[in-house]
Structure 1
Amino acid sequence: AFLVFGICGLFIIIITQIWSFIADVNISMNMSQSHHLFILTEYFVNQEKYFYWMLLHMYGVLCIGMIIMVATGTMLISYLQYTCGMFKIASYRIKHAVNINTKNITLENKVFMIENIICAIDIHRQAMKLSKHLVSSFEITLLCFTGGIVVFFTLNLYRVFQIASSKNNFNEFFLLIMYMAISSLYMFLANYMAQNIIDHNNHVFSTVYNVKWYRTPLHIQKVILFLLQRNTKKFVLNVGGIFEGSVEHFATLMKASVSYFTVIYSTR
């Protein structure tokens, strides 16, 4: 779905640009009209003569950039989904290790309990370590991406209101709306995946609370106690010590973007 959306977004951008050329031709059949690109670029050549070569270059850059962005995002999402699976495995092991026949606990059951709980704790620790390592590996990229999206969304929102007030240039208006939708979706996906990791981590502790751990032998209860104490420390995916990945944080970023737009629009 992530790849399909990226391809569709790029396809819409190209179709919008081509459609504007067709509309210009239909409006001015016998009049010479200069073409312009939606993305402002500077080429040290005759832009009218080499316009289509410039257009081809711009589309090539957009395609390469979109492929890199989608590939990187898909890879990161795959790793994070793998981490969610590790949290689920830890929850499953704890649930089935403790919820055995606790009324008639044999030595074999005790060994089974302790081995599965230790394995679950180790899997949980590895999942937390992996998720933090993934975020730290892309920390600079995510930090620049988040800040850039906020600035990009604010400026595009300001431009949309300018076009709406002047009631012209519908093609640019549509393109800006699409840019804002794509940037918002990418930021939402990033925060949603972080929220998904946090929810799976919390599910491990809720599983520990809900199992019949109080019926297990004392030494097994002590092992479970160490896991329960870990829940006192909040687990978050922090980017640069500034941004925390969560759906709530996504809403905060959107509110901040609208607030910045309000300030800019009121001081124009």
Structure 2
Amino acid sequence: MSKTKDRSENMSFTCSYDYKMVKNITSLAGQWPYQKQRTKLLCLSLVTLSTCSIMAPQIARFVICSGDLNCILQTLAAYLLTIVTLIKLYTCYFNRYKMKILVDQLFIEWDKLKTPEEYEIMKTYAETGKRYTLRYSLCIFISAYIFCSLSLIPYIMDIILPLNNSRPILTVTPSYYFIDEREYFFYIYSHAIVAWEITVSGIVAHDCFLLTYIEHICSIFTIIGFRFEQLMYKHTDTGKILPSYSSDIYRKQIAFTVDMHQKVLKFAHLLEDVFSLSLAMQIALNTISISITLLQITQDTSDTLIVIRYIVYIAVLLLHLFCLSFEGQKLIDHSLRTRDKIYNSLWYKTSPKSQKMLLFVMQKTFQPISLSACKIYIFSMENFTTIMQTSMSYFTVLASME
């Protein structure tokens, strides 16, 4: 009972340091590890049912396509997005015990901070993660709303600038509802916009959790580098930092910092273990989606609204890949920066035994920590351009087949 109480107190402490936003976002989709089981299953079921309610009309559309390749490709891009949503959603759910470990480790690190400078470092990265979470969430939700709302423009234009014949119906996504789409348009539209916004919450929960924890890992690497830089210094009661040549002091500092470095490596590997397979499937499906959507843009140039909607869709996919690549690059840079911090410290004033410990850490940093998709694809800014080139290549192949 006391452990549960302590855990709750620690959780409140952590959430007060800018993690409350990611807690709230993940709770909406039933992804927060310490959410009540009944609430978690309710939220998870709601997102799942919303996603399946979108997929059912899309599958029906595949049936009525009757082998028409153009019709299939039009439906496939949006269908792949719903598949990605389910992948993201159940990646977190099936790895909920590992995610609990990640959350526990997060607030444990706050308790290990020694100086005001270290507190400010972690606070800065926590605030950065909060800003990224807020901006990313707003971009995704607003883009989903714009994507759906474009379907209303033909109706608005019929009121403002009526024609002899009504303008063609523009459904939110290519789908088939087994009813008259014009007569029941607003029912279909209402279902689509509500279902898509709920579905998008599953995407946002997965991504915001991942981005926040990468920022946290980067903060720990920064604190480790700061401790190595301050290796031969001590903090006085007046707040000043003075040189210290006590072998006991720097031996303890090195041992504690080396242990912290080992733990952050395990933390990073655990994070990758949770999301690696999910990210691999997402990369493959998003690359295909971008290629198919580019093909649709070249084929439907006569309808401006459809082209705009395709552009919004591609922009969201690229934003998703860019955010993951940017954070992946940041993780690589921070892990490599540790050896520079060690080199710039007063390592030459330590004992030979302590120097060997520092050398061991430097050897570890030659292999950078990265976010990967099944060890095949490394998320970095360089590979982000590779994904775009691959998508263009697939688009060229598809265009040549038409």
Q: Does TM, scored on the shorter chain, surpass 0.5?
A: yes
Q: For 1:76-98, what per-residue CA distance to the aligned partner results, in whole angstroms no more than 9, with x for missing partners?
A: 11111111111111111111014
Q: Which residue of 2 aligns with 1:52?
A: 186
Gaps of at least 5 residues in structure 1 are none
Partner SS, residue 148 of structure 1: helix
What RMSD over aligned residues (CA atoms) do the two structures have, in Å? 2.0
Partner of 2:18: none
Which runs of structure 2 are paired with 1:44-83 in the superposition (5 Å)? Answer: 44-83=178-217
Hey, what does 2:257 align to over in structure 1? Answer: 120
Quote how far apart the aligned CAs of 1:234 are.
4.1
Higher RCO (C-alpha 8 Å, min separation 6) = 1
**Which region of structure 1 is more displaced relative to structure 2, 147-156 or 117-126?**
117-126
User: Which SS does the other structure have where 2:217 is aligned?
Assistant: helix
Moved more, 155-164 or 190-199: 155-164
**2:271 is the alignment partner of 1:137:** no
Q: Percent identity, please.
A: 23
**Aligned partners of 1:149, 1:21: CA distance in 2, in Å?**
32
- The separation in 2 between residues aligned to 1:234 and 1:140, in whole angstroms, is 20
Q: Does 1:212 align with 2:346?
A: yes
Whether the aligned pair in 1 keeps the contact of 2:224 and 2:260 (CA below 8 Å) is: yes
Task: Give the match for residue 94 of structure 1.
Answer: 228
**How many Å separate the matches in 2 of 1:196 and 1:234?**
11
1:1-268 pair list within 5 angstroms: 1-29=135-163, 31-32=165-166, 35-98=169-232, 106=245, 109-164=246-301, 168-268=302-402
Q: SS where residue 360 of structure 2 aligns?
A: helix
Give the TM-score, by structure 1 length: 0.89
Further displaced range: 34-43 or 71-80:
34-43
Kindly indicate whether the alpha-carbon contact (under 8 Å) linking 1:38 and 1:172 is maintained by their aligned counterparts in 2: no
Query: How far apart in 1 are the matches of 2:342 and 2:199?
Result: 45
Residue 300 of structure 2 aligns to a residue whose secondary structure is helix
* TM-score, scaled to structure 2: 0.61
Q: Deviations over 1:95-135 (max 9, x none)?
A: 101467xxx864xx212212122222222222222122112
Question: 2:172·2:192 contact (CA, 8 Å) conserved in 1?
Answer: no
Q: SS at the partner of 2:231?
A: helix
**Is the contact made by 1:94 and 1:207 (CA closer than 8 Å) also made in structure 2?**
yes
Query: In the superposition, relative to structure 1, how do residues 78 and 235 fare at CA in structure 2: closer, same or farther (>3 Å)?
Result: closer
Stretches of structure 2 that go unaligned for 5 or more consecutive residues are: 1-134, 235-242
How far 1:29 moved relative to its partner? Answer: 4.6
Give the letter for the 2:277 counterpart.
I
1:136·1:239 contact (CA, 8 Å) conserved in 2? no
For the 8 Å contact 2:342–2:362, the answer to whether it is kept is yes
